[in-house]
């Protein structure tokens, strides 16, 4: 048996938390830190020096040798540049460790190679990192040793955000300000802050390392680009919540321990729908910390997988034909005196504040559906959204029976007089208790579902940062709150005005509510009839970033300026083209160096067999038919390969990031599909021992 684990002792051992600061800092210093962390502002340099010293001492006691400003550039993952805690040796040649307040608060990585969408080219190449005091510093353990990581925001010399965190922090402040105006209207004078909370459920696949290494596509693209479906996929539903296999269990155990040490509240784990697919969900926390922690979750998954001779696939669609991976972004907003604004209570029809908040959220989501869709878009997610297992690319809101009924009453009569109750769930077994049922059932097909006291945004891709979706959510809801507060603060009769506004919001934006099967063909048609956008690809979605509506929204609340939005859009186009280019080149390599040679070898074997049989006087009927079939697919493959190669050359000459991205989407991805089809046919025709790469069956079932 393995050693006992004490979760309480393990939790947060590698985090320089507020509790550790309270222990290690002089009282007045701690107080200043706490104040700035809660209400914003700047630390004085004296305080920063004291904090830096305490942080360094703690880190060195724990065996750290380096520190880094840990930030989230627009690559979607995190970046770090390690600096040792060393200074010039003194006269006796002794090394004194050093880490100043200035080094804690501000960094200047030479970050000119990060994507900036042209932002810095026109100004200065400099980028600065600034400590996000609200997210605790932590120690990362890896083969590099122990590194003190200081979560930071990353901005250009002129103050433009070069990362995913800065706008998120801006959006959280904006949401807080506007939500406070709402709760004040309802007589809450105690709350001083409203916080967005996020719980990001992370889906992932595991694959054996040796098999992974034999697949160029998994190595370079993170997903399979060839592969026929195995005889068994997910149709038996036997993997979902199934018993966790030993090897996977050992991985999960180590993963949890590593995450707990980092203060990540890894909570639930289970097998997902597809074979070799799993999920980890942490307990929700303040949005920016949840975003940081989700990055740590993804990074730790990859690292621990390697230790178990596995590889963790975070791609949204590693395998065609089975479920892809997403990241459900659970989101709610809570006042610092403990009121979750999304909690309907037992009688939502009488909870006016809740109804106003809900109506504002519906308005926000309907008004900015295209932008919200964009916030969940990435190249990998294009393989998933709109495919039959994932939420469609159409944004709609699921409210559940109870709230739907309340909204309907409000829209139809102006009053919601009654509320549907869940009632008792009768088990029919004497020894089992009867349960109070929830008033709403779940709807797993909705991209934006109300689930009890939070919304669950299910479009987000598994590999993507959750920063953008939450930045958008916070800002669009802040806008709706702002518009409501503008009206209501001026109202002569608040009761009547709020009643009218709720009805107006629900009536105007009812079209965004959909409680049916989001995966059905009928919904696609119905959504079109309702005028809801259905945006299929990342690069089409990117247009939403620079529409007048979006630019005005973000400018009003100072979350993004126009230049920042344009640069992000540019990066999306560039990134799209680069990603598809890598995939195309990988396919070309696999087809020409592995698959086609293997097929030729097998064809030759067949041809020799046919000749030998004919000489022996036996009619090689089956062999001939097989050879013919193989040969016709091989011809198709060769033709498709040549076309892809030609178009790849063309792609390189297309001028302009946007045009190039669309060329990749409209031409290259079609060429890739044309190459894949005959190759997958051939996989079914050619002898297993000759097939040069591990099959889907091996990849998914041999973990």
Q: Which of 284, 457, 506, 664 binds ligand ADP (CB under 6 A)?
A: 284
Q: What is the 3-state secondary structure (H, E, C) of 228-273?
A: CCCCCCCCCCCCCCCCCCHHHHHHHHHHHHHHHHCCCCEEEEEECC
DSSP three-state, residue 434: coil
Contact 591, 583 (CB under 8 A): no
Least distance from C-beta 203 to Mg ion, angstroms?
9
**263 touches ligand ADP by CB under 6 A:** no
**12 touches ligand ADP by CB under 6 A:** no
**319 touches ligand ADP by CB under 6 A:** no
Q: Total residues contacting ligand ADP (rule CB under 6 A)? A: 15
Element spanning 439, H or E: none
User: Of 267 and 562, which CB lies nearer to ligand ADP in the complex structure?
Assistant: 267
Contact 51, 66 (CB under 8 A): no
Residues 66-95, interacting with Mg ion (CB under 5 A): none
**448 touches ligand ADP by CB under 6 A:** no
The residues, any chain, with a CB within 8 Å of residue 222's CB and separated by 6 or more, are: 313, 314, 315, 318, 380, 463
From Mg ion, ligand ADP, none, which one binds at residue 71 (CB under 5 to 8 Å depending on kind)? none
CB atoms within 10 A of CB 585: 16
From ligand ADP, Mg ion, none, which one binds at residue 282 (CB under 5 to 8 Å depending on kind)? ligand ADP
From Mg ion, ligand ADP, none, which one binds at residue 127 (CB under 5 to 8 Å depending on kind)? none
Stretch that binds ligand ADP, among 196-204, 493-501, 506-514, 543-551 (CB under 6 A): 196-204
Q: Which of 115, 227, 233, 282 binds ligand ADP (CB under 6 A)?
A: 282
**507 touches ligand ADP by CB under 6 A:** no
**281 touches ligand ADP by CB under 6 A:** yes
Contact 74, 163 (CB under 8 A): yes
Question: Can you read off the two tokens belonging to residue 540?
Answer: 């089409």
DSSP three-state, residue 146: strand
User: Of 471 and 586, which CB lies nearer to ligand ADP in the complex structure?
Assistant: 471
- Give 652-657 contacts, CB < 8 A, sequence gap 24+: 657/570, 657/573, 657/574, 657/577
Element spanning 702, H or E: none
Contact 503, 320 (CB under 8 A): no
User: Of 282 and 518, which CB lies nearer to ligand ADP in the complex structure?
Assistant: 282
Distance between CA atoms of 434 and 610, rounded to whole angstroms?
Answer: 71
Stretch that binds Mg ion, among 49-57, 193-201, 377-385, 556-564 (CB under 5 A): 193-201
Q: Which of 163, 201, 203, 329 binds Mg ion (CB under 5 A)?
A: 201
Least distance from C-beta 391 to ligand ADP, angstroms?
13
Element spanning 94, H or E: none
Nearest residue to the partner Mg ion, using Cβ:
201
From Mg ion, ligand ADP, none, which one binds at residue 122 (CB under 5 to 8 Å depending on kind)? none
User: Of 374 and 446, which CB lies nearer to Mg ion in the complex structure?
Assistant: 446
Stretch that binds ligand ADP, among 117-125, 191-199, 363-371, 672-680 (CB under 6 A): 191-199
Taken in order 26, 29, 35, 40, the sign of the CA dihedral is negative
Least distance from C-beta 170 to Mg ion, angstroms?
29
DSSP per-residue string spanning 570-589: HHHHHHHHHHHHHHHHHHHH
From ligand ADP, Mg ion, none, which one binds at residue 623 (CB under 5 to 8 Å depending on kind)? none
From ligand ADP, Mg ion, none, which one binds at residue 482 (CB under 5 to 8 Å depending on kind)? none
**268 touches ligand ADP by CB under 6 A:** yes
Stretch that binds Mg ion, among 274-282, 329-337, 354-362, 613-621 (CB under 5 A): 274-282
From ligand ADP, Mg ion, none, which one binds at residue 330 (CB under 5 to 8 Å depending on kind)? ligand ADP
Phi and psi at 281, nearest 5°, equal -125, 130
Stretch that binds ligand ADP, among 30-38, 87-95, 282-290, 611-619 (CB under 6 A): 282-290
The residues, any chain, with a CB within 8 Å of residue 694's CB and separated by 6 or more, are: 211, 214, 215
Q: What is the 3-state secondary structure (H, E, C) of 590-607?
A: HHHHHHHHHHHHHHHHHH
Least distance from C-beta 280 to Mg ion, angstroms?
9
User: Of 14 and 330, which CB lies nearer to Mg ion in the complex structure?
Assistant: 330
**Residues paired with 194 in a beta bridge:** 335
Contact 661, 577 (CB under 8 A): yes
Stretch that binds ligand ADP, among 107-115, 154-162, 197-205, 251-259 (CB under 6 A): 197-205
CA distance to 131, 471, 528, per residue, from 167 (Å): 15, 7, 32
Least distance from C-beta 265 to ligand ADP, angstroms?
8
Distance between CA atoms of 170 and 172, rounded to whole angstroms?
Answer: 5
Distance between CA atoms of 390 and 381, rounded to whole angstroms?
Answer: 10
User: Of 201 and 316, which CB lies nearer to ligand ADP in the complex structure?
Assistant: 201
Distance between CA atoms of 692 and 592, rounded to whole angstroms?
Answer: 12
**330 touches ligand ADP by CB under 6 A:** yes
Distance between CA atoms of 649 and 629, rounded to whole angstroms?
Answer: 31
Least distance from C-beta 316 to ligand ADP, angstroms?
18
Contact 263, 138 (CB under 8 A): yes
Q: For the chain, percent helix, then strand, then coil, each to nearest 5?
A: 50, 15, 35
User: Of 16 and 204, which CB lies nearer to ligand ADP in the complex structure?
Assistant: 204
Distance between CA atoms of 387 and 654, rounded to whole angstroms?
Answer: 29
Contact 572, 539 (CB under 8 A): yes
Q: Which of 125, 144, 283, 622 binds ligand ADP (CB under 6 A)?
A: 283
- Max distance between CA atoms of the chain, in angstroms, equals 103
Q: Which of 100, 188, 409, 453 binds ligand ADP (CB under 6 A)?
A: 453
Q: Total residues contacting Mg ion (rule CB under 5 A)? A: 2
Half-sphere exposure of 436 (CA within 13 A, CB side): 4
Stretch that binds ligand ADP, among 151-159, 206-214, 278-286, 558-566 (CB under 6 A): 278-286
Distance between CA atoms of 605 and 348, rounded to whole angstroms?
Answer: 73
Stretch that binds ligand ADP, among 143-151, 281-289, 395-403, 578-586 (CB under 6 A): 281-289
Stretch that binds Mg ion, among 157-165, 279-287, 497-505, 674-682 (CB under 5 A): 279-287
Distance between CA atoms of 587 and 581, rounded to whole angstroms?
Answer: 10
Stretch that binds Mg ion, among 93-101, 194-202, 370-378, 593-601 (CB under 5 A): 194-202
How open is the CA angle 660-666-669, to the nearest 5 degrees? 95
Q: Which of 463, 214, 420 is nearest to 325 (CA)?
A: 463
**454 touches ligand ADP by CB under 6 A:** yes
Stretch that binds ligand ADP, among 198-206, 420-428, 473-481, 663-671 (CB under 6 A): 198-206
Contact track, ligand ADP, 16-35, x by CB under 6 A:
--------------------
Contact track, Mg ion, 142-181, x by CB under 5 A:
----------------------------------------
Q: Give the residues lining the site for Mg ion (CB under 5 A).
A: 201, 281
Q: Give the residues lining the site for ligand ADP (CB under 6 A).
A: 197-199, 201, 268, 281-284, 330-332, 340, 453-454
């Amino acid at each position: 048996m393995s050693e006992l684990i004490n979760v309480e002792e393990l939790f947060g051992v590698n985090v320089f938390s507020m509790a550790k600061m309270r222990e290690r800092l002089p009282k007045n210093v701690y107080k200043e830190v706490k104040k700035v962390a809660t209400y914003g502002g700047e630390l004085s340099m004296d305080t920063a020096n004291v904090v830096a010293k305490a942080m360094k001492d703690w880190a060195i006691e724990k065996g750290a040798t380096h520190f880094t400003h840990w930030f989230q550039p627009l690559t979607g993952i995190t970046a770090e540049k390690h600096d040792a805690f060393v200074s010039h040796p003194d006269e006796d040649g002794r090394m004194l460790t050093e880490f100043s307040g200035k080094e804690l608060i501000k960094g200047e990585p030479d970050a000119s190679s990060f994507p900036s969408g042209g932002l810095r080219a026109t100004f200065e190449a400099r980028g600065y990192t600034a400590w996000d005091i609200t997210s605790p510093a932590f120690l990362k353990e890896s083969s590099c040793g122990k590194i003190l990581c200081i979560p930071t925001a990353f901005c250009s010399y002129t103050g433009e955000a070069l990362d995913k965190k800065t706008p998120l922090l801006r959006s959280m402040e904006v949401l807080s300000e506007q939500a406070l105006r709402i709760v004040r209207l309802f007589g809450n004078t105690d709350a001083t802050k409203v916080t967005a909370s996020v719980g990001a459920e992370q889906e992932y696949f595991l694959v054996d390392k040796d098999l992974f290494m034999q697949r160029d596509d998994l190595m370079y693209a993170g997903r399979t680009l060839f592969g026929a479906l195995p005889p068994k996929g997910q149709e038996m539903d036997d993997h979902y919540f199934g018993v966790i296999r030993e090897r996977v269990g050992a991985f999960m155990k180590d993963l949890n321990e590593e995450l707990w040490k980092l203060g990540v509240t890894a909570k639930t784990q289970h097998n997902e729908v597809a074979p070799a697919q799993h999920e980890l969900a942490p307990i929700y926390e303040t949005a920016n910390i949840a975003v940081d922690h989700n990055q740590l979750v993804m990074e730790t998954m990859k690292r621990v997988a390697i230790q178990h001779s596995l590889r963790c696939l975070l791609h949204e669609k590693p395998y065609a034909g089975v479920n892809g991976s997403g990241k459900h972004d659970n989101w709610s907003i809570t006042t610092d005196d403990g009121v979750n604004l999304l909690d309907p209570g037992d009688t939502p029809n009488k909870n006016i504040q809740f109804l106003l908040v809900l109506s504002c959220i519906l308005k926000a989501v309907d008004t900015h559906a295209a932008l919200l869709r964009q916030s969940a878009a990435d190249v990998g997610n294009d393989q998933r959204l709109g495919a039959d297992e994932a939420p469609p690319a159409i944004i709609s809101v699921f409210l559940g029976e109870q709230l739907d009924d309340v909204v309907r009453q409000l829209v139809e009569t102006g009053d919601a007089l009654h509320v549907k109750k869940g009632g008792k769930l009768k088990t029919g077994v004497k020894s089992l208790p009867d349960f109070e049922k929830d008033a709403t059932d779940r709807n797993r097909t909705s991209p934006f579902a109300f689930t009890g006291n939070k919304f669950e945004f299910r479009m987000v891709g598994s590999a993507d940062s959750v920063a953008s979706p939450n930045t958008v959510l916070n800002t669009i809801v802040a806008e709706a709150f702002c518009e409501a507060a503008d009206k209501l603060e001026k109202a002569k009769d608040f009761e009547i005005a709020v009643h009218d506004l709720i009805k107006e919001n629900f009536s105007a934006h009812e079209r965004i509510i959909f409680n049916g099967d989001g995966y059905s063909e009928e919904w696609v048609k119905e959504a079109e009839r309702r005028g809801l956008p259905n945006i299929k690809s990342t690069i089409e979605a990117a247009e939403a970033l620079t529409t007048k509506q979006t630019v005005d929204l973000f400018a009003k609340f100072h979350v993004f300026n126009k230049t920042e939005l344009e640069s992000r859009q540019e990066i999306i186009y560039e990134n799209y083209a680069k990603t598809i280019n890598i995939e195309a080149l990988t396919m070309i390599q696999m087809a020409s160096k592995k698959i086609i040679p293997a097929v030729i070898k097998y064809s030759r074997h067949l041809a020799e067999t046919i000749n030998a049989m004919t000489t022996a006087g036996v009619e090689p009927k089956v062999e001939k038919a097989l050879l013919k079939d193989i040969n016709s697919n091989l011809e198709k493959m060769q033709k498709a390969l040549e076309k892809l190669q030609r178009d790849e050359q063309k792609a390189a000459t297309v001028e302009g990031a946007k045009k190039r991205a669309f060329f990749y989407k409209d031409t290259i991805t079609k060429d890739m599909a044309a190459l894949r089809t005959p190759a997958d046919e051939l996989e079914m025709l050619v002898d297993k021992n000759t097939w040069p790469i591990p099959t889907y069956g091996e990849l998914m079932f041999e973990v």
